[in-house]
Chains A and B, each alone.
Chain A
Amino acid sequence: MTDNIIQAPSTEGVDTVGRAAESPDVVQPWAQLGLKEEEYARIREILGRRPTSAELAMYSVMWSEHCSYKSSKVHLRRFGDLPAETPIGKQLAGIGENAGVVDIGQGWAVTFKIESHNHPSYIEPHQGAATGVGGIVRDIMAMGARPIAVMDPLRFGALDHPDTLRVLPGVVAGIGGYGNCLGLPNIGGEVVFDECYQGNPLVNALCVGALRHEDLHLAKATGVGNKVVLFGAKTGGDGIGGVSVLASETFDSAGPTKRPSVQVGDPFAEKVLIECCLDLYRAGVVEGIQDLGGAGLSCATSELASAGDGGMTIELDTVPLRDASLRPEEILMSESQERMMAVVAPDQLEEFLAITDRWDVEATVLGEVTDGTHLLISWHGETIVDVPPRSVAHDGPVYERPMQRPAYLDALQADSALGLTRPSTPAELREQLLQVLASPNICDKSWITDQYDRYVRGNTSLAMPDDAGVVRVDESTGLGVALSTDCNARFAQLDPYAGAQLALAEAYRNVATTGALPVAVSDCLNFGSPEDAGVMWQFSQAVDGIVDGCRAFGVPVTGGNVSFYNQTGATAIHPTPVLSVLGVLEDVARRTPSGWSTGGLYLFQLGATREEFDGSEWAGVVHDHLGGTPPRVDLAAERALADVLVQGARDGVLAAAHDLSQGGLAVALMEGVLRHGIGARISLSDNVFTDLFSESAARAVVAVAPEHADALASLCDEHGVEMSAIGVTAAEIDGLQIEGVDSMTLEELRRAHTDTLPAVFG
């Protein structure tokens, strides 16, 4: 039981600013902390002396790739060239804030952001994924918003790989356990299996929040004399990992025990924190607010100070600790979850503390905003940090990493899927349809999604497996938002520029199929090592693709996240730029669902089909093939299709709409039948195989009541969208009947679709 014994903190051996000034030659573990020699030299230059070990801790973590975006910054700036306007209003906060905020009309704004928690989820799947949800939710809270929904794009290695069996159940239970307990509906996301993610699963998390325009809170510490308050959970040794090297450095005796790298989440504490924050906002007692995530107090104090008037003093020894043996460096670096930092006017402090008391949330005044230019942190009266906060938070190194188009790309692009053997009989076509339907990336995901609460808060209008999640924001008017996250990394591997645009186009299309007008983008760019010139080229190409795509769609990138180093040895993951698009519905009651629920409807395909099989699901599942060039990107056609879908929903023309993407028309039709068990009879061109399996972009399948067919035709005419009649829905048909393909009963479809994941996970 010795680990519970509280030791009195000591100042003995603490590296103070005075000591640092007197001992310039002390050897410091900058390399172990991930700093480069020239970065360490720059820190010494900024300070005019060697850093104290606490300062070194702050700089090393704030200048890490994860916090400083040092390899991606030069590319991400291109997002800033896009107009800060959406099709319906202003962008109220953009890149650089905790999350972007967009006007959705009627005095409402929405903030949304997507982030990665990839590596921690590989180490400890359950807690890694759970704290990923917790972190993104606090980002949204820090904007002054009430979080209203979450989504989770997930990518794992091959379904039959042992590591997938270890990682996936923990990740899913972690997301469910945390999100469900927070009371946030999970309304969508993705689950992708590909061997390129073995050892590097991608766990991305999106959160969306709603706020009135006047409630926007920005993270800045202004107002000399205002108090800096830390509130929420106590600080423990979570996520410190490598920094313990510093603490042992300053110990003459045996150093402290190695701290865990894993952070543990407490969703109940976060739920209470959400309600407490919203009460604080309502009471108007918060001048500035910042969540504590990566780099903990180092990040919160330096970012708040540098975005504000510049000066701040913090008494680090007043931080409430879960583990009293923590050294000051470790307290600064701790990534303990469920903590927030607020800037509070002195005359409002009493009311602030009364509200935190009501929620049983611990709150501590750590210091105040000053009229100085430095962030000063003391430990039992001794100054251990004295830095210009901007130099920590914003003026980190910026790298123009070398870029080089990968040498393998020519051969890969030359290896087209057009030469692959195609099914030639009705029986073969049927067999391959069912094979694709049962494949890991197309099969039913309810083993996963049924572990998430999609109903809590009672505003969920659409959730998985619909094309996009839809939630109501305002009960009195029905105003709401639609969200989709997408990325086909197989396409991005073949051509990162086109692949990123196709990911953007798919998310845009998915939002439009619900009838929502797409207005803004947040992205999570998951790539290999930036020190690999090929990866850096892929990254730059993807950014260019997104920027050009957003410009064509007239939507801004409001924020996002970059995750590098997703690679094992020399093998990087496929470039995976996950794009999330947010759309607005003036009345969610008019949204279009993905599946048809009655017979007697006409089915139409919107958009043109070409011979495009490179990177397709068919090529991957049937032939284990990836090569060639992705389907043609036609942003004007995407926009025209979206116009038809949005207007069609507004006019009440569409009974159902489903985008065509992975698996093409084949998968869209099978999913349509499976959704409510209503059969369909389909008749296509002479080239049934191409019609079914091509993955041409800018297409959707829609179901309309016969009396609305003319209205749809004139909409398509008006926007120049190709429309072809492909069949009807019919309650009396058991399953799917396609001319030229042996028919499939509902039961056969269902078995193929639903057996895959339970067979592996139980």
Chain B
Amino acid sequence: MKIGVVTFPGSLDDHDSQRAIRLAGGKAVSLWHADADLHGVDAVVLPGGFSYGDYLRAGAIARFAPVMDKLVPAAQGGLPVLGICNGFQVLCESHLLPGALIRNDHRKFICTDQRLRVENDSTAWTGDFESGQEILIALKNGEGGYVADEATLDALEGEGRVAFRYLGANPNGSYRDIAGITNERGNVVGLMPHPEHCVESGFGPSTDGLAFFTSVLHSLVDA
């Protein structure tokens, strides 16, 4: 199974996402932002980082990259896509996911080992978890506050589309402690924390992140 990892100028965790895919047993394929071609991959990860420096709004410029012209319709057609941190911001800017990410409420960048609750274990990226399971995932962001209007938030809750919630103190002011969400179909998932930093014993706070990548491989086999 081939999973593409997009590199935008300023992407940082593309390297880590590729490693996570390999450790989960998949084949990682590097996708270049300026290349309007998905090269036949079975799923895509939009990695963390500061694409284009995040100078305008996080993810705002990346969403207009040539590769996105191909990715957006593919995602709408069911291609599994995981957006991590900056990737989540790109998915929101692309309107593949509702809402937006704004500056942390305490106005500082935060890097911490964050407890999360898995709220939805039926997406393409969460099948190897159990709903209600607690996991520990590295979190690192400056613009990680998830916001949306009340109607959108109510709809997300009502449709079970909140995929992950922060446990303990809310690290960034996200509305309703939302750490990650999914689209209606369950193939597109975005979250602020970084599962790709939690795939190897001895590196990062846990190995709980590996299940994201094994999940998508299993979902592709079952599909």
Contacts and interface: CB of A to CB of B under 8 A. Distances in A.
Q: Do chains A and B touch in the complex (CB under 8 A)?
A: yes
A455 B10 contact: no
A268 B10 contact: yes
Given A181-B50, A268-B52, A589-B202, A451 B16 contact: no
B6 to A, nearest CB: 15
A589 B200 CA distance: 10
A720 B138 CA distance: 42
A456 interface: yes
A607 to B, nearest CB: 28
B13 A181 contact: no
Interface in A133-178: 173, 176-177
B93 interface: no
A348 interface: no
B111 A183 contact: no
Given A272-B10, A455-B194, A180 B109 contact: yes
A461 B142 CA distance: 23
Nearest to B53: A268
Contacts of A455: 111, 138, 140, 194, 197, 204
A44 to B, nearest CB: 46
A48 interface: no
A449 B111 CA distance: 8
A458 B111 contact: no
A751 interface: no
A588 B202 contact: yes
B10 A456 contact: no
Contacts of A38: none
A271 interface: yes
Interface string A379-415: 0000000000000000000000000000000000000
Contact of A451 (B111, B138, B194): B111
A455 B114 CA distance: 13
B111 A450 contact: yes
Interface string A452-493: 111111111100000000001001000000000000000000
B203 A459 contact: yes
| Overall SS of chain B's interface | mixed
B10 A458 contact: no
Contact of A268 (B50, B197, B203): B50
A360 interface: yes
Interface string B97-134: 00000000000111110000000000000000000000
Nearest to A271: B10
Nearest to A268: B53
Query: Which of A359, A455, A588 has the most chain B CB atoms closer than 10 A to its own CB?
Result: A455
B49 interface: yes
Contacts of B203: 458-461, 472
B136 to A, nearest CB: 13
Contacts of A266: 53
A456 B12 contact: yes
A328 interface: no
B155 to A, nearest CB: 33
Nearest to A589: B202
Interface string A351-388: 00000000110000000000000000000000000000
A266 B138 CA distance: 26
A456 B112 contact: no
A267 B10 CA distance: 9
Given A458-B200, A589-B202, A181 B10 contact: yes
Nearest to A176: B109
B19 interface: yes
B73 interface: no
Contacts of B12: 181-183, 271, 456-457
B110 A267 contact: no
B78 to A, nearest CB: 29
Nearest to A459: B203
Interface string B1-29: 00000000110110110010000000000
Contacts of A450: 108, 110-112
Interface string A256-285: 000000000011110110000000000000
27 contacts: A176-B108, A180-B109, A181-B54, A183-B12, A183-B13, A266-B53, A267-B50, A267-B53, A268-B50, A268-B54, A271-B50, A272-B10, A359-B9, A449-B111, A450-B111, A450-B112, A451-B108, A452-B111, A453-B111, A455-B111, A455-B138, A455-B194, A456-B12, A456-B16, A458-B13, A458-B200, A589-B202
Interface of B: 9-10, 12-13, 15-16, 19, 48-50, 52-55, 108-112, 138, 140, 142, 194, 196-197, 199-200, 202-204
CB-based closest 6 A-B pairs:
A268-B53, A183-B12, A458-B16, A455-B197, A181-B50, A453-B140
Given A268-B9, A452-B109, 7 more contacts: A182-B12, A272-B10, A450-B112, A455-B197, A456-B16, A456-B197, A472-B203
